Structure 1
Amino acid sequence: MKDSVLHFYDELADNYHLLFVDWHEAILRQGELLHKVIQSKLNLSCTNNTTLLDCSCGIGTQAIGMAKSGYKVTATDISEVSVKRAAKEAARYGVNINFGVADFCSLNKDVLGQFNIVLSADNAIPHLLTDEELVKAFHNMHKKLLQNGLLILTIRDYDALIKEKITSTQPTILDDGNRIVFQVYDWAQDDKTYTVNQFILQVINEEWQTKHYSTKYRALLRHELNTVLEATGFVDVEWHFSSQTGYYQPILTARKD
Structure 2
Amino acid sequence: MNTRGFYDELADRYDLMYADWDASTTRQGRALDALLTTSLGPGPHTVLDDACGIGTQAVGLARLGHRVTGTDLSPRAAARAAREAAARDLALPVAAADMRALPFADASFDAVVCADNALPHLLTAEDVRAALAETRRVLRPGGLLLLSTRPYTALRRIRPTSEAPHVHNGPDGRTITFQLWHWHPDGERYDVELFQLLPSGGTWTTHTSGATYWALPEEETARYLREAGFGEPVLHLPAATGFHQPVLGARRPVPHTRSTL
Q: Tell me if TM exceeds 0.5.
A: yes
Cα distance between partner residues in 2 of 1:76 and 1:165? 31
- The letter for the 2-side match of 1:91 is A
Q: Which one of 217, 236, 243 corresponds to residue 247 of structure 1?
A: 243
* Contact 2:180-2:194 within 8 A present in 1 as well: yes
Residue segments in structure 1 that go unaligned for 5+ positions in a row: none
Find out whether 1:214 has 2:207 as its counterpart: no
Q: Which one of 184, 191, 196 corresponds to residue 187 of structure 2?
A: 191
- Tell me which residue corresponds to 2:28: 30
In the TM superposition, residue 56 of structure 1 has moved relative to its aligned partner by 0.4
In the TM superposition, residue 157 of structure 1 has moved relative to its aligned partner by 0.2
Q: Give CA-to-partner distance per residue, 1:32-57, whole Å, 9 cap, x none.
A: 1111111222222xx23x10000000
Cα distance between partner residues in 2 of 1:172 and 1:97? 28
| Aligned residue-pair number | 250
Q: TM-score by structure 2 length?
A: 0.93
- Tell me which residue corresponds to 1:57: 52
- Tell me which residue corresponds to 2:256: none
Matching of residues 1-257 of structure 1 within 5 Å: 4-44=2-42, 47-48=43-44, 50-107=45-102, 110-112=103-105, 114-175=108-169, 178-257=174-253
* Contact 1:129-1:217 within 8 A present in 2 as well: yes
Residue segments in structure 2 that go unaligned for 5+ positions in a row: 254-261
Cα distance between partner residues in 1 of 2:86 and 2:166? 30
* Contact 1:104-1:141 within 8 A present in 2 as well: yes
Q: Percent identity?
A: 38
- The letter for the 2-side match of 1:208 is W
Say which SS state the counterpart of residue 171 (structure 1) adopts: strand
In the TM superposition, residue 223 of structure 1 has moved relative to its aligned partner by 1.7
- The letter for the 2-side match of 1:89 is E
Q: Give CA-to-partner distance per residue, 1:18-72, whole Å, 9 cap, x none.
A: 111100100111001111111222222xx23x10000000011111111111111
* Contact 1:102-1:111 within 8 A present in 2 as well: no
Q: Which has the higher helix share?
A: 1
Cα distance between partner residues in 2 of 1:169 and 1:102? 29
Cα distance between partner residues in 2 of 1:93 and 1:178? 25
In the TM superposition, residue 205 of structure 1 has moved relative to its aligned partner by 2.2
Cα distance between partner residues in 1 of 2:126 and 2:235? 23
Q: Give CA-to-partner distance per residue, 1:75-98, whole Å, 9 cap, x none.
A: 111111111111111100110111
In the TM superposition, residue 170 of structure 1 has moved relative to its aligned partner by 1.8
Cα distance between partner residues in 1 of 2:5 and 2:98? 14
Pick the structure with greater CA Rg: 2
C-alpha RMSD of the superposition: 1.3
- The letter for the 2-side match of 1:40 is T
- The letter for the 1-side match of 2:17 is L
In the TM superposition, residue 236 of structure 1 has moved relative to its aligned partner by 2.8
